[in-house]
Amino acid sequence: MKSLAEFALDVGKHEGASYVDVRIINQKYQHIQTKDLTVAEFNQGTSAGLGVRVIAGGGWGFASTQKLTKAAVAKAVKEAVKVARASATCLAEPVKLAPEPAYVAEWVSPHLVDPFTISTEEKLALLFDCAKVMLAVKGVTLAGGSLSFIHEVKYFASSEGSRIKQTSIRSGIGIEANATDDHDRQRRSWPNSFGGQYELAGWEIIHRWPIKQHAQRIAEEAVQLLTAPSMPKGKKDIILTGSQLGLQIHESCGHPSELDRALGWEINFAGFSFLTPEKLGNLQYGSPLVNLVADATEPTGLGSFGFDDEGVRGRRTYLVKNGMFSGYLSSRDTAHLIGLQSSGGAMRAESYAYAPIIRMTNISLLPGNAGSLEDLIKDTKDGYLFDINKSWSIDGRRYNFQFSCEAAWEIKDGKLGRMFKNPSYSGITPEFWNSLDAICGPQEYVNWGVPNCGKGQPMQTMWTGHGAAPARFRNVQVGIATSDAETPNEGADVKEAGHDH
């Protein structure tokens, strides 16, 4: 691995590149998905290859190969240099890298049990036990479960002298119960939807998230949702449980604070950002209770690492401090464009076959002092509790969002009441975060993993984490996600656009 990386660096320099970095990645993965008492998906395999990134003539070039021979690597490096020289014919300005020390280091993600040492029978037994419990509930029409594991060894070498080896283990676990009748389809999941909870952890994740203990409850709730009322439209105080708040952070804080978006680099596909550089230090993004950090060092966070994919050491920085927009996720080639002295350490690539781009690490809302979720519900006179994501959408600048959850409960005078199906809430990002008035304490804080964040062209998926404790937002629009518009505005007047947020 090391000698091939050195060879690639030498070829790159010989071809005239002014900068070269190489990532050699060995990965093994296993994804098991069950439907009822059958194995619906068993996706297991290995992946190994080399990606090389160069600067030549002031432009970026990238190429990759899965053939780890000197001949194939030399071909890839030469192609990368050729690509960089083609880039140089279309530059707005030459690439400039923020300085970063050269590191010689080895990093291993914290884990107790390597999930690849656990037998497939034991994994299937866990999922099938849950399925049996869910299918025993009358009305459940499909019981699903999934387990995912990735073991990755990554070696990074750069022409500036860094030589870094990192080993990471990531695990995911989840179950879901579906109920269908002639008129409706409803679902409940645990601990999260779309595959469950993902962490930078090993097999010990199954003890942190005891899925079997929750199988019966979610099955019963899925069936109850079929006859539950829909949420009426209106403005209400709402409490978001941790996993939904994690996704809210991901979409409305994490993505807009990516500096490549704010500079317009991703506008063609992933989108732009309302957090443009002139707002840095000048925009009251949220209420004074809102403190959001980008932290690549959280122990079990899915977005944690020792060093990013251009060799920048993982770090913790504030994106929002006491409500004020105060920082970006950045890279070595974007830092100087807004006057930063160094990268924020957020460059990552899905695999050896992709060039790194700015990605979220763990973007987390620091816990508050509102106690437990039970305490926060007791403190709420009239509102809703929203639980577990079902649908999400946000505009190209990350202003207007709409989220739907699997279920919500009415809160009246500090007590939970009726359950509602198809609950939704919507708003404008800075208005929403400025309406936050309570965050539960550290005892409710969980780092929620998002294993499938999409960005870039061609699109790459990435692992990100979002620490959150349940929080309350005042006077939020709810229940608007319906095809039935009750406000017949056909033919409404056109207004002059007069304000700029």
**CA torsion, points 384, 385, 388, 390, in degrees to nearest 10?**
0
Question: Judged by CB under 8 A, which stretch of 178-186, 208-216, 275-283, 287-295 contacts another protein?
Answer: 178-186
Total number of residues shown for the chain: 501
Scan residues 200-239 and list those touching another protein (CB under 8 A): none
Q: Which region, judged by CB under 8 A, interacts with another protein, from 2-10, 75-83, 157-165, 373-381?
A: 75-83
Residue holding tokens 């949420």?
231
Identify the residue among 4, 11, 80, 219 touching another protein (CB under 8 A).
80
Whether 365 and 469 have beta carbons less than 8 Å apart is answered as: yes
CA distances from 340 to 23, 87, 279, 337, 344 (A): 26, 25, 15, 7, 9
Q: Which of 14, 16, 39, 412 binds another protein (CB under 8 A)?
A: 39
Range 341-400, binding another protein (CB under 8 A): 353-355, 357, 390-397, 399-400
Burial category of 483 from C-beta neighbours within 10 Å (exposed 0-12, middle 13-18, buried 19 and up):
exposed
| String marking each residue 301-330 x if it binds another protein according to CB under 8 A | ------------------------------
Whichever of 238 and 289 has its CB closer to another protein, that residue is 238
Q: Which of residues 71, 138, 282, 458 is near another protein by CB under 8 A?
A: 458
Residue (261 or 321) nearer to another protein, CB: 261
Q: Which helix (H) or strand (E) holds 431?
A: helix 429-434
Segment interacting with another protein, rule: CB under 8 A, options 265-273, 306-314, 380-388, 462-470: 265-273
The residue whose two tokens read 């406000």 is 487
Residue among 36, 71, 19, 29 at smallest CA distance from 50 = 71
Which position among 19, 62, 190, 285 is part of the footprint of another protein (CB under 8 A)? 62
Residue 85 host element (H or E): helix 70-87
Least distance (Å) between residue 193 CB and another protein? 13
Q: In whole angstroms, what is the distance from residue 446 CA to residue 469 CA?
A: 7
The DSSP element (H or E) to which 65 belongs, if any, is strand 59-65
Part of the chain binding another protein (CB under 8 A), chosen from 74-82, 204-212, 287-295, 324-332: 74-82
Told to check if 278 binds another protein by CB under 8 A, we report no
Kindly state whether residue 64 participates in binding another protein, applying the rule CB under 8 A.
Answer: yes
Minimum distance, C-beta of residue 231 to another protein, in the bound complex (Å): 12
**Out of 71, 138, 282, 484, the residue judged to bind another protein by CB under 8 A:** 484
Report in angstroms how near the CB of residue 501 gets to another protein at its nearest.
Answer: 5
Pairing of strands 197-199, 347-348: unpaired
Residues 408-447 that bind another protein (CB under 8 A): 422, 424, 426, 428
Residues 15-34 binding another protein (CB under 8 A) are 33
- The minimum distance between CB 492 and another protein, in angstroms, equals 4
Q: Which is nearer to another protein, 375 or 406 (CB)?
A: 406
Residue 469 CB, nearest distance to another protein (Å)? 26
Per CB under 8 A, 487 contacts another protein: yes
Please spell the DSSP secondary structure of 260-326, one letter per residue. Answer: HHHTTTTTTTT---S--GGGTTT-B-S-TT--EEEETT-TT-TT--SB-TTSPBP-EEEEEETTEE-
302/405 with CB nearer another protein: 405
- The answer to whether 448 and 242 are in contact (CB under 8 A) is yes
